[in-house]
Amino acid sequence: MAYARELGKPPTAGSDAHLPEEVGRCFLALPSDPGDPEELMEMVLRGEGAPRGRGLTLPAAVRMYVRSVANWGRRGFRRI
Question: What confidence tens digit (pLDDT) does each residue in 3-59 have?
Answer: 888 999 998 988 788 778 788 889 999 999 999 999 999 999 999 999 999 888 898
- Tell me the pTM: 0.63
Mean pLDDT over 64-68 rounds to 91
User: What's the sign of the alpha-carbon dihedral 38, 44, 49, 51?
Assistant: positive
61-69: which pairs have CB atoms within 8 A and are 24 or more residues apart? 63/19, 64/18, 64/19, 67/18
pLDDT for the residue numbered 77: 95
